[in-house]
Structure 1
Amino acid sequence: MTATQAAEGSQGAPSPRDRVPKHRIITASVVGTTIEFYDFYVYATAAVAVFPALFFTGNDDTTRLLASMATFAAAFFGRPLGSIVFGHFGDRIGRKATLVGALLTMGIATFLIGLLPTYHQIALWAPAILTILRFAQGMGLGGEWSGAALLASEYAEPGKRARAAMWPQLGAPFGFILANGFVLLLTSWMGFNSATDAGSLDHSFMVWGWRVPFLASAIMVLVGLYVRVKLEETPVFQQSVARGEKVKAPVAEAFRKAWRPMILGTFIMLSCYVLFYLMTAWILSFGIGAVESGGLGISYHTFLEIQLVAIVFFAAFVPVSGWLADKIGRRRQQLFTNVLILAFGLSFGVFMAPERIGTGEDAHLFGIILFVSVGMAIMGLSFGSMSAYLPELFPTNVRYTGSGISYNVASILGAAITPYVAVWLNASGGVAAVGWYLAGAAVITMVALFLSHETRDLNLDDVARRG
């Protein structure tokens, strides 16, 4: 009798794959990552337009903005810690319970930000608590992605793992659309202009409107909890437990036996993160930036609408990525995608230089939409299959920990510093230099891919025997 048959029962009892409806697995895996990116973009918007005036003091607008962005960066330091903490429990007690904990950590922190008194009410306690809550958000996010990816991939049918695992990846465009669409509608309805009203503490958006998106995240958290508590543990994890493969210290075991895939996984993910944060965080600052500072001088609302159009292409190409990864293999699909990222990076100076694309009212909006949409489409191709590829590099007893550490260390290397580096590169060498930065990241990722191996045809229980 095989391990799979033993797990399913000698009397022909349905396996966990059959007992749990597919729609419940999909919803449970998508909702967490949707909240993750929803929280990220809601916080990013508030960190630029609201928090400098409400949570920090001083007469210098730039200093207040930098202090606000420092709290934004706190999440990136929380993410690796979250991947270690939640990875430990995910590999020790199971994926289901750990995912519930990660979701609650994210949801409670986000909801409390919406209730937080401002600097004008509790002085320095306000930015201090804001930073702690942002760090807690990061911890929750650090444990969420790998758990959601494992939930989808470890329930998947043979030969369809990448297509099943791509569902959590759709949380990125879904969260973006929900957050930016919500903020766009809310600010339009309340008549808030970030360029002129951000310093007006009497504006209704500054008084209470900004809290609504944070408080609204509780609705998604409740939906996620309802779905997740009804799940059973993944069949792959159950089989690993039945074979007595659980380890007492998954983190130590991962660094001892899976250090190579952790390093490779980090750099396999690098170009994906660089592309994502260039096409979201940096491109927004470039698009609305002053012309004299090297930006395009487009209005905030207009560029937000451009991004909302482009994000549709991101969502559309995530399932394409999963399908291709199942058909031609993860490694080949990612190599092909990184060739596209390399070429796209080299095109920045050709298509997006202000003297070519125009600025202000003379900006070629269709050309900008096309460029950002192409970048987002490539992002979908890169991101879609990662939730299959990274977990497949690790054995079951350290899979949650190893894939989470790779994913979140890559976020520091490819996400935390990218917007700042890109701003500096654009100021010193123009937009072409930003593209070279992306191209360099693609080359590094291709090297990691060449050093890795194909995982499409692996049984997830055979990864340990592959070493």
Structure 2
Amino acid sequence: MTSDTALGGAPAGLRRVAAAALIGTAIEFYDFFIYGTAAALVFGRVFFPGLGATGALLAAFSVYAAAFLARPLGAVLFGHFGDRLGRKTTLVVSLLLMGVSTAAVGLLPGYGQWGVWAPVLLTVLRLCQGIGLGGEWGGAALLLAEYAPPGRRGRYGGYLQLGPCAGFFLATAAFLALAEWLPERAFLAWGWRLPFLASVLLVGVGLFVRLRIAETPVFREQRDRARVPVLEVLREHRRPVLLGGGALMVGYGLFYLTTTYALAYATTELGLARTLVLALLLAGTVVMAGSVWWSADAGDRWGRRRVLQLATLLGALWSVALFPLLETGRTALVALALVTAMALLGAMLGPMAAYLPELFPTRVRYTGAALTYNLGGVVGGATAPLVATRLTAAYGTAQPVGWYLAGLGALSLVCLLALPETRGRVLTGRPVPIPAPAGPGAPQRS
């Protein structure tokens, strides 16, 4: 009996796996996103006082970027054990690491109490967050991809991609509620800590759900395990890793520039109310979730690469309009800028949970998918807020940031053109080949 046949007879089991992937990923991304919101709103003043407004924001975003640099390490570490020992146990450990690190940030004294040790420990905890999230997405994507039937793999992968939407919604809603209910002094003194401490309860829920699922049938049937998965991936599957990471750059950049950098810029430089911008981002998250669901399903019907190419092209074009609309300061135009950006982002995210696992064979699928996903974040997620802050300081406007983001979109589109279509592929045997471009100087097949 094939795994797909088994699934057809046990839809309740597949629904349980989808719920476990959605809830666990939502919690992990909630933990990851609350740092970005706190970095934009308070961390410069709490952990980096005396650096000036721009210097403090750059310092907070630098620590923010450290997690993205750690995410490929998490992908390699958790991918190794996920490909060797199984997906389920690895996902439980990644959830625990993220939860403990996040709660510890909520207990960390500021610079006024611990001096330089406060930002040092903040950096260490942020690195731990990055390692934990680096192992999360790939394993959760594999849970769904290896359980779901080929013809519905995109739709079930959409459950996973709703996790970041739910995590960001929870994080934004938490800070919006605190901004509404607490005076500024209380928010800076202790209010910002509450979303971090709440992670303890959320992780408990995630563990309860994840401990009830079984290992994937595809992994159980795979007897030939890679001894060192990362070496095999780098030796035999470099091109899908690099091209897939490149395809993700603009999605990461669009998300973190829209949510983290735009939040800081709109509230500090443009003078918009913190509650207004958070409320608009909250609305954008709902639209993004709908876009994720549409594009995940469209990937099953029309092909994953085709949907991704269209979304990436539109995202690159919208990037040029994003910051000019934001700088008008008019509520309707600011809402249009942010909500449209998040809708296009959702269209980029939807097919990815099915697409990346389909690029790699079972024996190295965890490492390959996780490493690809997190490499895209190094350029698109880690550096984008830092580059944006520098560009805005240099030119006195954020409009050049949009052109930078459009450039990332062009590079991502080129990478997608070099990747294959994988819709309907059975997740056993050899990976889908990626043809090398013809012509002199073209990259050779790995």
Normalised by the length of structure 2, the TM-score is 0.90
The alignment partner of 1:21 has SS state of helix
Alignment of 1:145-164 (within 5 A): 145-164=137-156
Q: Does 1:270 align with 2:249?
A: yes
Residues 339 and 58 of structure 1: is their aligned pair in 2 closer, same or farther, counting only changes over 3 Å? closer
Tell me which residue corresponds to 2:71: 79
Please give the per-residue CA displacement for 1:224-270, whole angstroms capped at 9, x wherever unaligned: 11111111111111121xxx220110011111111111111111111
Which of 399, 402, 413 lines up with 1:446 in the alignment?
413
Q: Distance in 2 between matches of 1:236 and 1:131?
A: 38
Matched AA of 2:140:
A
Alignment of 1:36-47 (within 5 A): 36-47=28-39
Instruction: Give the CA deviation at 1:130.
Output: 1.9
Q: Note the aligned Cα RMSD (angstroms).
A: 2.4
Alignment of 1:110-189 (within 5 A): 110-189=102-181
Tell me which residue corresponds to 1:288: 267
Q: Distance in 2 between matches of 1:87 and 1:314?
A: 28
Residues 261 and 369 of structure 1: is their aligned pair in 2 closer, same or farther, counting only changes over 3 Å? same
Please give the per-residue CA displacement for 1:310-350, whole angstroms capped at 9, x wherever unaligned: 2211111101011110000011111111221232134347x
Alignment of 1:387-426 (within 5 A): 387-426=353-392
Q: Distance in 1 between matches of 2:186 and 2:432?
A: 61
Contact 2:359 2:432 in 1 (8 A): no
Contact 1:348 1:431 in 2 (8 A): no
Tell me which residue corresponds to 1:88: 80
Tell me which residue corresponds to 2:275: 301
Residues 457 and 92 of structure 1: is their aligned pair in 2 closer, same or farther, counting only changes over 3 Å? same
Task: Tell which deviates more after alignment, 215-224 or 429-438.
Answer: 429-438
Instruction: Give the CA deviation at 1:443.
Output: 1.7
Instruction: Give the CA deviation at 1:33.
Output: 2.2
Contact 1:16 1:234 in 2 (8 A): no
Matched AA of 2:35:
Y
Residues 47 and 374 of structure 1: is their aligned pair in 2 closer, same or farther, counting only changes over 3 Å? closer
Task: Tell which deviates more after alignment, 32-41 or 309-318.
Answer: 32-41
Which of 428, 449, 456 lines up with 2:395 in the alignment?
428
Q: Does 1:437 align with 2:437?
A: no
Residues 284 and 205 of structure 1: is their aligned pair in 2 closer, same or farther, counting only changes over 3 Å? closer
Matched AA of 2:424:
D
Tell me which residue corresponds to 2:441: none
Instruction: Give the CA deviation at 1:16.
Output: 9.9
Contact 1:78 1:138 in 2 (8 A): yes
Contact 2:291 2:343 in 1 (8 A): yes
Tell me which residue corresponds to 1:208: 190
Q: Does 1:237 align with 2:199?
A: no
Instruction: Give the CA deviation at 1:127.
Output: 2.5
Matched length: 433
Matched AA of 1:21:
G
The alignment partner of 1:453 has SS state of coil
Higher alpha-carbon Rg: 1
For structure 2, the 5+ residue unaligned runs are 435-446
Q: Distance in 2 between matches of 1:423 and 1:153?
A: 38
Q: Distance in 2 between matches of 1:353 and 1:58?
A: 29
Please give the per-residue CA displacement for 1:189-210, whole angstroms capped at 9, x wherever unaligned: 1222xxxxxxxxxx43344322
Instruction: Give the CA deviation at 1:170.
Output: 0.9
Contact 1:353 1:432 in 2 (8 A): no
Q: Distance in 2 between matches of 1:127 and 1:430?
A: 29
Identity %: 43
Q: Does 1:327 align with 2:309?
A: no
Matched AA of 1:224:
G
The alignment partner of 2:356 has SS state of helix
Matched AA of 1:386:
M
Contact 2:84 2:227 in 1 (8 A): yes
Tell me which residue corresponds to 2:226: 247
Residues 19 and 307 of structure 1: is their aligned pair in 2 closer, same or farther, counting only changes over 3 Å? closer
Instruction: Give the CA deviation at 1:59.
Output: 7.0
Q: Distance in 2 between matches of 1:49 and 1:288?
A: 8
Please give the per-residue CA displacement for 1:163-200, whole angstroms capped at 9, x wherever unaligned: 101111112221111111111112321222xxxxxxxx
Tell me which residue corresponds to 1:51: 43
Q: Distance in 1 between matches of 2:387 and 2:344?
A: 21
Instruction: Give the CA deviation at 1:29.
Output: 0.7
Task: Tell which deviates more after alignment, 445-454 or 82-91.
Answer: 445-454
Contact 2:296 2:351 in 1 (8 A): yes
Residues 278 and 206 of structure 1: is their aligned pair in 2 closer, same or farther, counting only changes over 3 Å? closer
Task: Tell which deviates more after alignment, 321-330 or 22-31.
Answer: 22-31
The alignment partner of 2:428 has SS state of helix
Q: Distance in 2 between matches of 1:108 and 1:131?
A: 14
Which of 242, 258, 276 lines up with 2:237 in the alignment?
258
Contact 1:353 1:430 in 2 (8 A): no
Q: Distance in 2 between matches of 1:48 and 1:341?
A: 23
Residues 38 and 61 of structure 1: is their aligned pair in 2 closer, same or farther, counting only changes over 3 Å? same
Residues 38 and 353 of structure 1: is their aligned pair in 2 closer, same or farther, counting only changes over 3 Å? closer
For structure 1, the 5+ residue unaligned runs are 193-202, 291-295, 358-362
Tell me which residue corresponds to 1:339: 313
Residues 88 and 409 of structure 1: is their aligned pair in 2 closer, same or farther, counting only changes over 3 Å? same
Residues 343 and 238 of structure 1: is their aligned pair in 2 closer, same or farther, counting only changes over 3 Å? same
Alignment of 1:311-326 (within 5 A): 311-326=285-300
Q: Distance in 2 between matches of 1:96 and 1:262?
A: 23
